[in-house]
Structure 1
Amino acid sequence: MSARWDGITRAESLLGGAVRIRHEVADAAKRYDWPELLALLSANPALINATRPGGHALYTPLHQAAHGNAPVEVVERLVAMSAWRTLRNAQGETPRDVALWRGHGRLLEVLTPVYQHDVPLGRLAAMQAHLHAVIRERVEELVTRHALRLPELEPLLEMEEAAMWFAVPGMYGGFNITLEGSGEKAHLVSESWCRVVGGSGERHEIDAEGSRLVAVGFV
């Protein structure tokens, strides 16, 4: 199964129970209650890279662990649960960056990303911009209404299977994004669909130069 990009930023995009559990995860992380945080994430693994609904700092549980100088074994557990070490907060900081400025040197090694794929970051950034254009072309109104955080590609470099699913509220579907190739040949394949509309599938190939619609109607 692909990893999930959590683009939710507003509580209004969720049902009440889902809002509550996200706040519980964020609260446990913020007060450095590591046993409670790990218990909540074990029960709700899809929230491992989520941020607080309505929050502005965009701290994930791993950012808070870096901020609070969590025990190394807690950070290792979060990473084992697929917390992304390349995910950035609102200030553009990775968890390692947070640990560094907080002076938590013992966490730097475990928070250093381990890349599984070799893609120049400049090429990755160009592909990300073209991906965002593809998403906005298809669901601009939903992106704006829900203030969605669009997928960032650097976490793909951490994954053995470099793929993520981006669910879009109100679309009844979303975008499956896969990184293929490496180096200057790296490119993305984006497949999007609405599961309640037959023939809605669109497949785009995306590289540093732009995007191309290569198939339609496959879902």
Structure 2
Amino acid sequence: MREQRVMEWDGFTLRSSLKPRFAQARDRLADAARDGDWAAVADVLGERPEWVNCPRLESRSGYTPLHQAAWHGAGTATVEGLLAHGALRTLRTNHGERAADIAARRGHHHLAALLRPVVRHPVPPAEIPVLQGHLHRLIRHRAGLEDGSDLATQHALRLPEVAALTELAHPVCWFPVPGMYGGFRITLDGRELAVDSWIRVIGGSERTDRVTPWGARLQEGEALP
């Protein structure tokens, strides 16, 4: 049986969190998308397909390549290529716009059908931000440091969005956390999330916690404070 693809949620936003060569490659991707150089975008994504949903490092707009394609009114073949790489239609910019919203605002009606979000695993809309809030609390708790801070905040990571899981054929994402030597495998399970996490350098660190609309429940059975 063919193993189903798991989306990687790349949460890096700070240049200082990446090795220079990776930061430079991210810059090339962002510059190419900004300039509408879709051949250059394809070249970078050919090597790093997990960056398809990444905005520019330290971005003020939060535009991903798909948002830029919507802004430019790129051809349908270009947009289809980004979607084939795993571009998410549900992602919003820092101003709350999805790619479909940007295309509509700029009059690029030929992209309307392609960019319309497709929800494969419905969750009541009012519950999505609630689940997301509990998930983010759990991530910060699990990635916590002895001084009371946490690795997600320390690196200003862009944390996974629950809406993104609703549009995936296989509603699972992997979220690596720098300094944790591991990360989180997040699975949308109906109206709940199963959150597997581990730290590779610590034996027996694997655990599964649950996130529901009513809060995060730790593997031990207690609620996350």
Same topology, TM > 0.5: yes
In 1: Cα distance, 2:28 partner to 2:38 partner: 12
Aligned length: 212
SS in 2 for 1:214: coil
Of 169, 174, 179 in structure 1, the residue corresponding to residue 183 of structure 2 is 174
Of 192, 196, 211 in structure 2, the residue corresponding to residue 206 of structure 1 is 211
Indicate the residue corresponding to 2:82 in structure 1: 78
Q: How do 1:141-152 and structure 2 match up within 5 A?
A: 141-152=150-161
In 2: Cα distance, 1:86 partner to 1:122 partner: 15
The answer (yes or no) to whether the contact 1:151–1:166 under 8 Å persists in 2 is: yes
In 2: Cα distance, 1:109 partner to 1:21 partner: 31
In the TM superposition, residue 214 of structure 1 has moved relative to its aligned partner by 2.1
More displaced 10-residue stretch of structure 1: 20-29 or 37-46: 37-46
Tell me the amino acid that sits aligned with residue 72 of structure 1. Answer: T
In the TM superposition, residue 215 of structure 1 has moved relative to its aligned partner by 5.4
Indicate the residue corresponding to 1:193 in structure 2: 198
The answer (yes or no) to whether the contact 1:202–1:215 under 8 Å persists in 2 is: no
Match status 1:59 vs 2:63? yes
Indicate the residue corresponding to 1:3 in structure 2: 7
Of 123, 132, 136 in structure 1, the residue corresponding to residue 127 of structure 2 is 123
Tell me the amino acid that sits aligned with residue 166 of structure 2. Answer: L
For normalisation by structure 1, the TM-score amounts to: 0.93
Structure 2: gaps (5+ residues): 145-149
More displaced 10-residue stretch of structure 1: 51-60 or 187-196: 51-60
In 2: Cα distance, 1:215 partner to 1:106 partner: 51
Indicate the residue corresponding to 1:162 in structure 2: 171
The answer (yes or no) to whether the contact 2:140–2:153 under 8 Å persists in 1 is: no
SS in 2 for 1:165: strand
More displaced 10-residue stretch of structure 1: 25-34 or 101-110: 101-110
Match status 1:25 vs 2:29? yes
CA RMSD of aligned residues (A): 1.3
SS in 1 for 2:143: helix
Deviations 1:179-201 (A, max 9, x none): 012xxxx1100011110111212
Indicate the residue corresponding to 1:95 in structure 2: 99
Indicate the residue corresponding to 2:147 in structure 1: none
In 2: Cα distance, 1:188 partner to 1:43 partner: 30
